[in-house]
Structure 1
Amino acid sequence: MELSTYLSVLQRRKWFVILSVLLGTAIAAAFTFLSTPQYAASTTVRVLTIGSTDSSARPDITYTERLVNTYSRIITGNNVRRQIMNELGLENMPIISVQSIAGTELIRIVAEAPDPEDARDIANAAADVLVDENREFFSGGAGQTLKDILSEQVDQALIALNEARTNYDAALAASPPVETAISAAREALETRERTYTSLLTQYEAARLEEAVRANAITIVEEANAPNRPAKPRHPVNLALGLAIGLIGGIALALLAENLDTTLYTAEQIENATQMETVGTIPASKDDLSIARLGAGHYPQLESFRRLRTNILASGSGGSQVALLTSAKRGEGKSTVSANLAVTIAQSGREVVVVDCDLRLPTVHKLFDLPNKRGLTNILAGEVSLDESMQYSAFPRVQVITSGPLPPNPTELLGSQRMLDLIEQLKTQFDFIILDTPALLSVADAAVLAPAVDNVILVVAQSQTRRGDVQTVRRQLSSVRVKSIEVVVNRAEPNGSYAYYEAEAR
């Protein structure tokens, strides 16, 4: 669908959108104002990524993320949170989260609590626990470290060195001195010295690294008690509720439009009927009577003039016979028939309206004429055409009312007498309008359709369903009519209609 179509749907289904927005906003407001305020306090901690750099001193991003994730799991774990809960005497497990500050070695420990001071204490306690856990781990609390192992080896190397030195001194003091023994003792002493020096160097490096690692986590900024609650966020929640309501309303509107088979626009009617639309008659708050139309009532007069132009343009030049029908009752076909007759007569043509609705006739009411005799009397051979013809209040418009209601209207309308009557009327009038019953109710219109030049299907906008007009199209196609055209009745007024209406007032 085009954007204009979507906008038309939303305009038509605006209450879905409005109610959904109101509901979404109301739920968000209720959740926001009834929720217990939550205060958030944060402690900033620095994490040194020792051993995570290469020769270019560029941090290993993967290692850093892994390290931060590890600390995050430690802090947010149940053991740490339970420890903090017990230390602070809290009733519930504290809410703790960890956020890394991009491009730095800093992480932020965030604690949430209904009380601002509790939030501050929880954040600071979590940072203290992290520092202590790290110090204990790298200080041997978790078992023997590399420094401890090297310390033992240094002690053993020192004992071996002292023993080698004693042996060397003894070799020098021997009398007489034995050069081979002195040489062997000196070589052993030098070996012990190298071993001791190497282990001592490794020990010092391990001790230094352990000391640094034990203090790799330092508190940069302690948490303070917040002044305002962090949750609920009133503007954000209300905006979110409004947005969700708006999206939900639009979705409901589109779903309702998809499920609703009522034809709301001329475009929908054309797509459903696959027929050409020759006229659109706008809806009116006032009664659309032929008396008002004849007096020059806008905008309907302009609409009927356009309809007249389109219908006459499709004719072959001689007398035209048009059959007006609709899918169901109440779509305004008889009113359209009467007004079309008046409008065509205003162009100087002789017009006759024949009320072929022998079940619920209304043409005589529209023209304010008696209905004592009419079409049924002609078809029964009781009266002649001239005897049943009545002049209306409008120049060049004559009417044949239905007459008494017969028991067999379909048979009468499909009889040879009816066909002969149509031929007779064509010799006397320029335009013949046959007002027939709704097609889905009875077959009266279908039996007459092959005998006319044009079938005009009146479709009331926003009242007719897609399936109904499609059924009518199939019925008319099955009887091989010459031409089928559509008139959209009771259409929503557009800007031009509003203009003409204002001019008429």
Structure 2
Amino acid sequence: MELKDYLRVLRRNWIIIVACALIGLLGAGAASLLMKPSYKSETKLFVALQSSGSVSELTQGNAFSQARVQSYVKTVTTPTVLQPVIDSLGLKVTPQALARSVAATSDVNTVLISIAVENESPVQAAAIAQAVSRSLIVAVDELERPSSSDSSPVKLSIVTPASAPGAPSSPNVNINLIVGLLLGLATGTGVAVLRSILDNRVRGAADLRRVTQTAILGGVSFDATATKEPLLTQIAMQSPRAESFRQLRTNLQFAHVSHDSKTVLITSSVPGEGKSTTATNLAIALAQAGQYVALVDADLRRPMIDQYLGLDRNAGLTTALIGQTDVDELLQPWGEDKLYVLTAGQIPPNPSELLGSDKMKQLIIRLETVFDAVIIDAPPLLPVTDAAVLAQQVGGVVLVVGTQKVRTTDVEKSLAALDMVEADLLGVVLNRLPAKGPDAYSYSYYSYESNGQIPALTHAKSRRQPLEENGSEANFENILRGEGRSTSRLRDIGGRGRGAQ
């Protein structure tokens, strides 16, 4: 992982990191409150020789004192020093227990000994420190005395008497809070990195780029209201969601410009990625640009377009494929633009066979002779083979990738399935992207020069100028007559009349 990848991980998981930091902070604060306060009292002693002489002798004596200081420091925590303290103060502890609250140190190249005592009582801490220093003086005097009649050559003097501290030495709330915050941040960062390593869901363009370099035709941000208002006509024309589909419309036209076929298949890896809403809104966006558009619901397992558009599904694609009714009688006009919808019809027991049949191929050809664009909503690629079968009969395929929903392994399998049938993958549409954050889709992020993708344009140019307006009740033959096209031509492709189906 590069630095930018780590930064993206931190931005994606900032809530976890902040939460862990707050937990660490609160934990440190709670621990500080629960801990009993401890007070530290300190005293200092000076070590000197009790002999006078020449400068040379004094120098040697000073070196001797410094060498003996470390031995005196070790002596402080011995029973020889601590037992008299216990007896004099009436403490109910053992020398070993008292030694754990007593610490003696000395600075390098000095003859000073510091004795620090910690206790829950500030007065008791000062009393013990003072008693220990006095006991050490007596112990050293006895240990250094050559005989009972002689005096000790070493003398210890208290230079800093012990005093009762006014504030507790521990817990140090500030230090504890800082340590707790740092531990929380470290834990949160570790959890974020581990979560990113274990998480194989596609969350944005960066994750998709680890799987494929296929062009990203557009990105649609997640909108909580889209479940209730999924159509472009239900939202403001200048909303980010509407602009996303106009962007997709423009980029798709450029991606499809070199294809003779006018048909585009919309599919996904797994259910729930938003392929049906993408197909429907793309068809609406193309129709709003002045094009004659046919929207075909070829998801013969879980058809959804009729529900989105409020159309009748009793007769549709399957009705035409089995030859019961001609396609020109099954197309239903929708809205004020030139959008005509062929619903799925009755769900058949053999969807794959119907979609892969020659009749389906002839139906697509017939639609292409009349409409500027044919948008087909196909089933997901992984659960069934319908989309892979149908992908061989269309001019191009658009794969919808639902971020937060699909895994990178699923996308890889879908791409492999399309490659196996030699389908022409026009690009990928990222759906359900977050509106903000590191994975938010930005129109300026993808550029032709840097990513080999299609530059964003603001207007789509229709290949046909709008003709006379037809009423919403106009049938398919009226559409053709309004354009000066022959209905017999539509019927003659693939056979005559309904027998061609």
Q: CA contact under 8 A between 2:267 and 2:398: conserved in structure 1?
A: yes
Larger Rg: 1
- CA spacing shift, 1:111–1:334, aligned 2, 3 Å: same
Counterpart in the other structure of 2:184 = 245
Counterpart in the other structure of 1:129 = 135
User: TM-score, with normalisation over the residues of structure 1?
Assistant: 0.75
The aligned amino acid for 2:322 is A
- CA spacing shift, 1:78–1:304, aligned 2, 3 Å: farther
Q: Deviations over 1:429-449 (max 9, x none)?
A: 222211011222211111112
Q: Please state if 1:276 is matched with 2:282.
A: no
The within-5 A match list for 1:428-447 is 428-447=370-389
Q: Please state if 1:377 is matched with 2:378.
A: no
Counterpart in the other structure of 2:105 = 99
CA RMSD, aligned part only?
3.4
What is the CA–CA distance in structure 1 between the aligned matches of 2:49 and 2:251, rounded to whole Å? Answer: 85
Deviation at residue 425 of structure 1 after TM alignment: 2.3
What is the CA–CA distance in structure 2 between the aligned matches of 1:264 and 1:281, rounded to whole Å? Answer: 13
- CA spacing shift, 1:67–1:466, aligned 2, 3 Å: farther
What is the CA–CA distance in structure 2 between the aligned matches of 1:78 and 1:383, rounded to whole Å? Answer: 108
Q: Which runs of 5+ in 2 are unaligned?
A: 444-501
Partner SS state of residue 235, structure 1 = helix
Q: CA contact under 8 A between 2:44 and 2:112: conserved in structure 1?
A: yes
Q: CA contact under 8 A between 1:458 and 1:489: conserved in structure 2?
A: yes
Equivalent in 299, 310, 317 of residue 240 of structure 2: 299
What is the CA–CA distance in structure 2 between the aligned matches of 1:278 and 1:80, rounded to whole Å? Answer: 84
Deviation at residue 294 of structure 1 after TM alignment: 7.7
- CA spacing shift, 1:36–1:478, aligned 2, 3 Å: same
Counterpart in the other structure of 2:303 = 361
Deviation at residue 48 of structure 1 after TM alignment: 5.5
| Percentage of pairs with the same residue | 35
Counterpart in the other structure of 1:119 = 125
Deviation at residue 479 of structure 1 after TM alignment: 2.1
The within-5 A match list for 1:83-232 is 83-92=84-93, 93-94=97-98, 95-101=101-107, 104-140=110-146, 212=153, 214-215=154-155, 217-232=156-171
Counterpart in the other structure of 2:461 = none
The within-5 A match list for 1:34-49 is 34-47=34-47
Equivalent in 468, 479, 485 of residue 427 of structure 2: 485
- CA spacing shift, 1:375–1:327, aligned 2, 3 Å: same
Equivalent in 307, 311, 330 of residue 252 of structure 2: 311
Partner SS state of residue 427, structure 1 = helix
Q: Deviations over 1:155-195 (max 9, x none)?
A: xxxxxxxxxxxxxxxxxxxxxxxxxxxxxxxxxxxxxxxxx
The structure with the largest helix share of the pair is: 1
- CA spacing shift, 1:243–1:68, aligned 2, 3 Å: farther
- CA spacing shift, 1:317–1:416, aligned 2, 3 Å: closer
Q: Please state if 1:332 is matched with 2:333.
A: no
Q: How many residues align?
A: 427
The aligned amino acid for 2:105 is Q
Q: CA contact under 8 A between 1:266 and 1:461: conserved in structure 2?
A: no
Q: Please state if 1:30 is matched with 2:30.
A: yes
Equivalent in 348, 356, 377 of residue 290 of structure 2: 348
- CA spacing shift, 1:138–1:70, aligned 2, 3 Å: closer
Q: Please state if 1:234 is matched with 2:173.
A: yes
After TM superposition, the structure 1 stretch with the greater mean CA deviation from structure 2, 297-306 or 401-410, is 297-306
Deviation at residue 40 of structure 1 after TM alignment: 0.4
Counterpart in the other structure of 1:410 = 352
The within-5 A match list for 1:41-60 is 41-47=41-47
- CA spacing shift, 1:8–1:389, aligned 2, 3 Å: same
- CA spacing shift, 1:273–1:48, aligned 2, 3 Å: farther
Deviation at residue 383 of structure 1 after TM alignment: 2.1
Q: CA contact under 8 A between 1:293 and 1:339: conserved in structure 2?
A: no
What is the CA–CA distance in structure 2 between the aligned matches of 1:74 and 1:66, rounded to whole Å? Answer: 14
After TM superposition, the structure 1 stretch with the greater mean CA deviation from structure 2, 474-483 or 220-229, is 474-483
What is the CA–CA distance in structure 1 between the aligned matches of 2:377 and 2:144, rounded to whole Å? Answer: 100
Deviation at residue 364 of structure 1 after TM alignment: 1.6
What is the CA–CA distance in structure 2 between the aligned matches of 1:66 and 1:319, rounded to whole Å? Answer: 98
Deviation at residue 387 of structure 1 after TM alignment: 2.0
What is the CA–CA distance in structure 2 between the aligned matches of 1:365 and 1:431, rounded to whole Å? Answer: 22
Q: CA contact under 8 A between 1:318 and 1:430: conserved in structure 2?
A: no
Q: Deviations over 1:456-496 (max 9, x none)?
A: 11122222222322222222222222225211112111499
What is the CA–CA distance in structure 2 between the aligned matches of 1:9 and 1:113, rounded to whole Å? Answer: 47
Counterpart in the other structure of 1:170 = none
Q: Please state if 1:471 is matched with 2:413.
A: yes
Q: CA contact under 8 A between 1:351 and 1:431: conserved in structure 2?
A: yes
After TM superposition, the structure 1 stretch with the greater mean CA deviation from structure 2, 75-84 or 352-361, is 75-84
Q: CA contact under 8 A between 1:373 and 1:401: conserved in structure 2?
A: yes
Q: CA contact under 8 A between 1:262 and 1:463: conserved in structure 2?
A: yes
Deviation at residue 368 of structure 1 after TM alignment: 2.1
Counterpart in the other structure of 1:74 = 75
